Amino acid sequence: MGSARKKMAGLVSTKFLPRMNPVICRRQRCLSQLDETQNNTVAASIPQLPPFDYSPSPYSGPSADEILAKRKQYLSPSVSHLYKTPVNIVEGKRQYLYDDKGRRYLDAFGGIATVCCGHCHPDVVEAIVNQTRRLQHSTVLYLNHAVADFAEALASKLPGDLKVVFFTNSGTEANELAILMARLYTGCHDVISPRNSYHGNAAGTMAATAQSIWKFNVVQSGVHHAVNPDPYRGVFGSDGEKYARDVQDMIDFGTSGNVGAFISEAIQGVGGVIELAPGYLPAVYNSIKKAGGLCIADEVQAGFARTGSHFWGFEAHGVVPDIVTMAKGIGNGIPLGAVVTTPEIAEVLVRRNYFNTFGGNPVCTAAGLAVLRVIEKEKLQQNASSVGSYLKHRLSALKNKYELIGDVRGRGLILGVELVTDSELKTPAKAETLQVLDQMKDIGVLVGKGGYFANVFRITPPLCFTRQDADFLVDAMDLALSRI
């Protein structure tokens, strides 16, 4: 292999090489940021990363192969990776990630809808470093202002009586606690959640999760799974009220008539970015309240301004939950989760001791406060709305070009693109999804994958994503699809 081709092989899939003429090959090398200053001279046919004035530090750590070997030897065999040849990500800045060779990628997955302010945002890093220098951990058994300040700021973002905050370390923990509180408050064990939902991987949350691929065959009691109000695949299309009748039937025929809780995402993230049909949540909340239950909104993916139109996903449905759970975006990557509820419901935990060693940790809560401030200061909700609409518009145009795209959905910067081999039968295009995913990575875009059939691209980038990034993403997807 000549040196230019060798260099390129590290940057762009070798599968692309035989199809390119040498001129395009040389151009592709420029595009791949070895020399970004030359980008404006390259061919328009190859999508280009928007310019970005940042140089990652040189990397001198172990190679991808060495890391992979260590992972295989020492980590659980359940730990998987994306891509045939996994990427060794060593640095991040705003909406971009860098691999061990200094190659830049557009991050359109955001560490699974988690990095909302952008990678290593200086305000968040500063808050973490300052707090770590001063006091890293003490537990809430002692006073410290960080946890109280963040609780106050977080409560101010929620409507009505939702003013009491419990901090956890993850979304699973937050949902476990929410379900526990609902069961204690109502004295009822029965919980309802829509099919295709994902709420975590501990006992109660795995029970509330309704996709077999995420459920192990262990005791999971007391959760009923309602027909999913999925506008694309669901039997009632976008008629939310028709789906809601199934929840009422479930209460009438599957429980004592009383329930503990209904838990749902507003947009099912892991399930393939499915926005619940309009009219569903208000009707279901009504049925649940009549049955004495509490409504839990799982905002782990859709919260923290990601939907653009609102700060919380449930707000687009005109409902006010009794309990809201959150994680991921709350800390921009710091392990942090929270449950927010009313003072009356929160009282149930006083019946016994409830304690979480790291919940409310000063470093995590200092980071959380910085995240809230950055979202406001940089108007990230407005950006998610305008860039998200633009991106969805461009993806919808791509749907008209390729029959393989069955659906484009979501709002703001939580978008899904579902691939099907037959648009009538909606046959999941699982293999094609993997191919496009890999090719997009080779061009320089990282998107996520999800959905029950693993045929949906999940686009959940940092909220500082720009229109130029959106163009690059769609152009890369276009090129990758054209090669299928």
Ligand X SMILES: Cc1ncc(COP(=O)(O)O)c(C=O)c1O
Exposed/middle/buried for residue 377 (C-beta within 10 Å: 0-12, 13-18, 19+): exposed
Cα 455–chain centre separation: 16
Minimal distance in Å, beta carbon 369 to ligand X? 19
Task: Please name the residues in contact with 450: beta carbons below 8 A apart, sequence gap of 6 or more.
Answer: 269, 270, 271, 272, 273, 416, 456, 458
Pick the closer one to ligand X by CB: 171 or 333. 171
Q: How far is the CB of 292 from ligand X (least distance, A)?
A: 25
CB of 226 to ligand X, least distance (A): 16
Nearer to ligand X, 33 or 169 (CB): 169
Q: Which of 170, 307 has the CB closer to ligand X?
A: 170
Phi-psi region of 395 (alpha: psi -120 to 50; beta: other; left: phi over 0): alpha
Of residues 106, 12, 99, the one with CA closest to residue 58: 99
Q: What CA–CA distance (Å, rounded) separates 452 from 217?
A: 18
- Give the nearer residue to ligand X in terms of CB position, either 223 or 481: 223
* Residue corresponding to tokens 């992972």: 71
For the record, the structure tokens of 228 come out as: 């999913």
Nearer to ligand X, 56 or 200 (CB): 200
Q: How far is the CB of 214 from ligand X (least distance, A)?
A: 9
SS3 content of the chain, % helix, strand, coil (to 5): 45, 15, 40
CB of 265 to ligand X, least distance (A): 5
Residue partners of 115: CB distance under 8 A and separation at least 6 = 92, 107, 329, 332, 333, 462
Q: Report, in Å, the least distance between residue 106 CB and ligand X.
A: 22
Under a CB-based contact definition with an 8 Å cutoff, are residues 456 and 416 in contact?
yes
Work out how close the CB of 175 gets to ligand X at its nearest, in angstroms, rounded to a whole number: 6
For ligand X, the closer of residues 176 and 469 by Cβ is 176
Q: Smallest gap, in angstroms, from Cβ of residue 302 to ligand X?
A: 8
CA distance 99 to 173: 32
- Of 124 and 339, CB closest to ligand X: 339
Which one, 100 or 265, has the nearer CB to ligand X? 265
Sign, CA dihedral 14-19-22-27, equals negative
List the alpha helices (DSSP H) in 292-416.
Answer: 343-346, 362-377, 380-401
Burial class (CB in 10 A: 0-12, 13-18, 19+), 252: exposed
Residue 300 CB, shortest distance to ligand X, in Å, is 4
Helix (H, G, I), strand (E, B) or coil at 226: strand
Only one residue has tokens 């406060």, namely 369
Q: What does the binding site for ligand X look like in residue numbers (CB under 6 A)?
A: 170-172, 175, 198-200, 265, 269-270, 298, 300-301, 327
CB of 268 to ligand X, least distance (A): 7
Closest CB to ligand X belongs to which residue? Answer: 171
What interhelical angle do 467-482 and 380-401 show, nearest 10?
20
Q: Which is nearer to ligand X, 191 or 300 (CB)?
A: 300
Which strand (E) or helix (H) includes residue 194?
strand 191-194
Query: 226 or 443, CB closer to ligand X?
Result: 226
